[in-house]
Amino acid sequence: MLQSLAGQALFAGAVRGQPSSTAAPRPLASDAITHDWPSFLGPSHNAVSTETHLTRELPPPLVWELEKGTGYTSPAIAGEDLVFFHRVGDQEVVENLHPETGESKWQFRYATAYRDRYGYNNGPRSSPVIDGTRTFVIGAEGRLHCLEVASGEVVWSRDLRAEYDARQDFFGIASTPLVHGNHLIVNVGASGGPCVVAFDTTTGTEAWRAGEWGPSYASPVPAVLHGRPRIIVFAGGESNPPNGGVLSLRPDDGTIDFAFPFRSRTYESVNASCPVVFDDKVFVSASYRAGGTLLRVLQDFTYEVLWTTQEFALHFNTAIHQDGYLYGYDGRNQGDASLACVDVSDGRVVWREAPQWTETFDQGGRERQAILSTARGSLLAVDGQFLALGELGHLLWLDLTPDGYQQVSRAWLAAAQESWTLPVLSRGLLYVMQNTRDILTGATPRLRCYDLRA
């Protein structure tokens, strides 16, 4: 049954003030390749961008910034619409901003009582998705809304916790949904099933359901395996004993090709790194002593395990595949994190680097120095190199190849921990989320737009 959830679309400025603008972005190069960013991990769902003509000078010019509430989401961008999702006070807020100015067009908000049981912030974790004239958002308590992009009006809504007994899990509901054709694919993770539910994007009615594993913090990704469309879901959250793994699903009816169990044996653990699909293969990884594994999907849509390693265990960042190698941040904690390159032919770590440098900064009028690093960073492959966001607020251009690691440029955007959200890139503009207070300047959490146009 469809649920009507309390909420309303509001005029711009009803929740907080207007953004602070600094300068208009530079014009795009006439031959620059650009794209929208309609969903988490970008238009190709793998953190690989096709944009070109980007400057390597860091820090890039700041175009605008907007004080935000709590949450770990990233914006979705299509045309002149940027949809952002965060929490202000005791309300989850969806708003439509102009990508180049940050000006708010509308806001939609509703009450929330979510409290993070481990003391992290209480905002939403699942990023918005834009599909044509509509946008989809899922709050930390499982409230799913379909809104009109132009107006913020509710098209339909579902309460996943009430209707499916969806679990709050360790850190709230966090998986970003996937639009595939006329279906919205959601890793609901209901108790005893279903694990995955497809909703009709137009009406919100349930189209199909599949599986019994719990929800994860990884997002479903589309795939083409042996020429046929598939949905790959990496499931597994709070359960005792812990369970979860990889599901290969037919997008039209949810038929399961195979279910590959892959989960840490530690109770307080999650699958959070999104699956990576290439060459009829699927790579998944998890921290908490789980490691990484590469599956080959066979012609009959069964699978075989090509290799498993304990040397490449990604906590929440998603690995990047390029030319037969995987790049990503291995490690569960800040102190044990390192950037590694893995040969996909055998799972061998080709090289490992723990980027560190001495940072000089002003603290209370006194010059200080500290050895800092990217710790558990995130990677975005773009323009022939990689952008990396360190979890302490550093932005870096990196040149990563099987031959090694090279830093091209680096800047400290904000001395803020929990910089866990992958940056968004669209039309030469980079959007970076500061999720905690800057310990040096006192700046509150905010969404910043930088000009990367060369």
Which of 236, 283, 219 is CA-nearest to residue 40? 219
What is the number of other CB atoms lying within 10 angstroms of the CB of residue 268?
10
Residue 2, domain member (yes or no): no
How many domains does the chain fold into? Answer: 1
Residue 39 φ then ψ, to 5°: -155, 165
Which of 376, 379, 309 is CA-nearest to residue 344? 309
**CA 102, CA 153: separation in Å to the nearest integer?**
20
List, in sequence order, the alpha helices (H) in 153-246.
Answer: 160-164
Domain that residue 149 falls in: 8-16+30-451
Residue 392, domain member (yes or no): yes
Element (H, E) at 384: none
Contact 140, 110 (CB under 8 A): no
Residue 3, domain member (yes or no): no
Q: Which residues of 65-89 are buried (b: 16+ CB within 10 A; e: fewer)?
A: bbebbbbbbbbbbbeebbbbbbbbe
Residue 225, domain member (yes or no): yes
Q: What is the pLDDT of residue 11?
A: 43
The pLDDT tens digits for 309-323 are 999 999 999 999 999
18-38 mean pLDDT: 92
Instruction: Please give the structure tokens belonging to residue 390.
Output: 């360190």
Residue 24, domain member (yes or no): no
Residue 1, domain member (yes or no): no
The pLDDT tens digits for 266-303 are 999 999 999 999 999 999 999 999 999 999 999 999 99
Beta strand 134-138 pairing with 129-131: antiparallel
> Is cis: bond before 215, omega within 30 of 0?
no
The pLDDT > 90 percentage for the chain reads: 90
- pLDDT confidence band for 16 (50 / 70 / 90): low
Residues 6+ apart with CB under 8 A from 220: 175, 177, 178, 185, 186, 187, 196, 231, 232, 233
The pLDDT tens digits for 349-402 are 999 999 999 999 988 889 999 999 999 999 999 999 999 999 999 999 999 999
Whether residue 404 is predicted with pLDDT greater than 80 in this model: the reply is yes
Q: What is the pLDDT of residue 10?
A: 59
Residues 6+ apart with CB under 8 A from 30: none
Q: What residue has token string 């595949």?
A: 321
Q: What is the pLDDT of residue 273?
A: 97
Residue 65 φ then ψ, to 5°: -140, 150
Whether residue 324 is predicted with pLDDT greater than 50 in this model: the reply is yes
The pLDDT tens digits for 44-65 are 999 999 999 999 999 999 999 9
CATH code, 209: 2.130.10.10
Residue 293, domain member (yes or no): yes
- CA angle 311/314/318 to nearest 5° reads 130
Residues 6+ apart with CB under 8 A from 133: 148, 149, 150
Instruction: Give the residue, 180 or 16, on which the prediction is more confident.
Output: 180
- pLDDT confidence band for 20 (50 / 70 / 90): confident
Contact 102, 85 (CB under 8 A): no
State pTM to two decimals: 0.95
Residue 21, domain member (yes or no): no
Question: What DSSP string describes 280-308?
Answer: TEEEEEETTTTEEEEEEE-TTS-EEEEEE
Q: What is the pLDDT of residue 57?
A: 98
The pLDDT tens digits for 64-123 are 999 999 999 999 999 999 999 999 999 999 999 999 999 999 999 999 999 999 999 999
